[in-house]
Amino acid sequence: MDIFPISLKLKQQLCLIVGGGSIAFRKASLLAKAGAILHVIAPEIDENLKMLVQASHGELVYKPFDEAYLNKPYKLVIAATDQPDVNHHVFVVCEQKNLLVNSVDDIPNCRFMVPALIDRSPLVISIASNGTSPVLSRQLRTQLETLIPHGMGKLAQFSGEWRKAVKEKISNPDERRIFWEDLYASPFKEQVFNDNLIVAKQMMEDALAKWTTPKGEVYLVGAGPGDPELLTLKALRLMQQSDVVIYDRLVSPPILDLCRRDADKIYVGKSRSNHAVPQEGINQLLIQYALEGKRVCRLKGGDPFIFGRGGEEIQELVTANIPFQVVPGITAASGCSAYAGIPLTHRDYAQSVRFLTGHLKEGSPELPWPELIYENQTLVLYMGLVGLETICNRLIEHGQRPDMPVALISKGTTPEQKVIVGNLENIAKKVVQHEVQAPTLTIIGEVVKLREQLQWQ
């Protein structure tokens, strides 16, 4: 994050605009809406801008910029002239005086940027691109305008009027947050939107009267194979409302960033032969935090019920009488194969697909080898990179042809995705040649041939 977004209170505060044209007027309009007192300095000042300044009880100075004018207690300064050298001079002087300064459409001469705004006062949403693409910010604002009801401003105002009462009733800040989240998920919100404030007031009073300390809950959430856009809507919602997030190494950083910012995030590892926290410890963490009344998100790469030990964790929760929800995720086999352009089934090549774990137990894979030797079948191996050579040799020994196509998909669906194609006989050597690293998915079958035609990533 290259910029730190803040909301600045400017009501009855002095703000200076250098420049008197249409650009200066646009910026002045935003400052005026925030209640600022406007001062404008320029040799010529647009008539609309002049009226705006007068309405704010501000000051008009008809002369070129003079740094002596900065001796007044300005909260911020905007340089909006059509002369780059003047704007630069304003920036330099403001920097010397530690004044917040913005030069319109001139990133190097800005200490702050003016974002695109969605105004649902008192709710205000800003969208900023660090000055790199203001048009894109405005387009996003337009899209969000259609998604955010105008009644959100009324809801924010109504909530603010009850904030003190809720705080007095519910002293714990985490519990207060849960109270508001539950309230906003109820019909209460629509009553405020429709100006049924008497009904909304009664609903608020009832909710406060019935409030009890919430019980903890565990969300077993599949995070998918890596691309954050593959998350389900329910997964994102529960990630956003969780107090604690317990995650492993297969959860990509962009997905983790989508969790609630102030949630406690606990890394439990789960890489081969190196578990930061053993499975028994993870089970205990889920129970411990839930018993404390927390909403716990157990965030797993892929799908929690496909080689994710989700079933084991749920068994422990059932035994401990902990309520839980399970949110399926796009498993690595589906996501990685799709991003690699390899369909797992195809009428001409494969009429079935089998998911297998490539983990070796005591150095030897325990797989039903005879059942795997079938021409029109796709095999998908999870966690099979270390034992790949052994697995390929076993398949050949049990009758599979050595030239059966094989694809390795490393870090699938992410920007670092790498796909290596070979066959049973040579794929293990290619792991070394191409320095393939985990997490890696292995696909074995004739469908691998389709990658050359269908790859799109």
Collapse the DSSP code of 180 into the 3-class scheme (helix H, G, I; strand E, B; otherwise coil) and give the result. Answer: helix
Phi, psi of 419, deg, nearest 5: -120, 125
Q: Which helix (H) or strand (E) holds 145?
A: helix 134-147
| Residues paired with residue 45 on neighbouring β-strands, in sequence order | none
248 is catalytic: yes
Count the Cβ atoms, other than its own, within 10 Å of residue 65. Answer: 23
85 is catalytic: no
CA end-to-end distance (rounded Å), the chain: 27
β-strands 100-103, 76-79: how paired? Answer: parallel
Residue 335 · residue 225 · CB < 8 Å? yes
Count the Cβ atoms, other than its own, within 10 Å of residue 214. Answer: 15
* The one catalytic residue among 270, 294, 300, 411: 270
Residue 216 · residue 292 · CB < 8 Å? yes
Q: Which of 409, 439, 413, 438 is nearest to 422 (CA)?
A: 409
| Residues paired with residue 298 on neighbouring β-strands, in sequence order | 220, 246
The span from the CA of 243 to the CA of 428, in Å, is 43
350, two tokens:
């494969």
Phi, psi of 421, deg, nearest 5: -115, 135
The span from the CA of 431 to the CA of 434, in Å, is 6
* The one catalytic residue among 248, 300, 303, 411: 248
Q: Which of 78, 70, 106, 81 is nearest to 8 (CA)?
A: 78
Residue 60 · residue 72 · CB < 8 Å? no
Residues with active-site annotation: 248, 270
